[in-house]
Amino acid sequence: MFLNHQDDAVGAAGEIHKIVFENEKIRILNVVVPVGFKTAMHWHPKNMGYVLAAGKLRFILPDRTVKEVELVNGQVTSGEGSHIVENIGDTEVRVLQVEFKD
């Protein structure tokens, strides 16, 4: 698992996170969230994402805080930490995500 984290995104939510590239500094994921899909709780290190296909997602944080976001094509995002992701829109969401290892 990435950095030996027990709820790494690929290990805990591998249905939507596919590794495109990985080296000692970064890991690039192709993230595809189908309409209506909800992940298990999973974790990401510091990262940035590039939205390839827009849509609406709900993020549920470990403390149960809920955030809904409307993503647009070409948007750049950043973040880190644990969450559940649910596609609450009517389109499949696609993001190219770069995770930083240091």
Q: What is the DSSP string of the chain?
A: -GGG-TTBHHHHSTTTEEEEEE-SSEEEEEEEE-TT-BPPPEEEEEEEEEEEE-EEEEEE-TT--EEEEEE-TT-EEEEEEEEEEEE-SSS-EEEEEEEE--
Whole-model pTM?
A: 0.93
For residue range 2-21, what is the model confidence (pLDDT) as tens digits? 556 779 999 999 999 999 99
For domain 2-100, the question of CATH label 3.40.630.30 is answered with no
Q: Are 57 and 68 in contact (CB under 8 A)?
A: yes
Name the strand (E) or helix (H) holding 91: none
**At 50, is the pLDDT very low, low, confident or very high (cuts 50, 70, 90)?**
very high
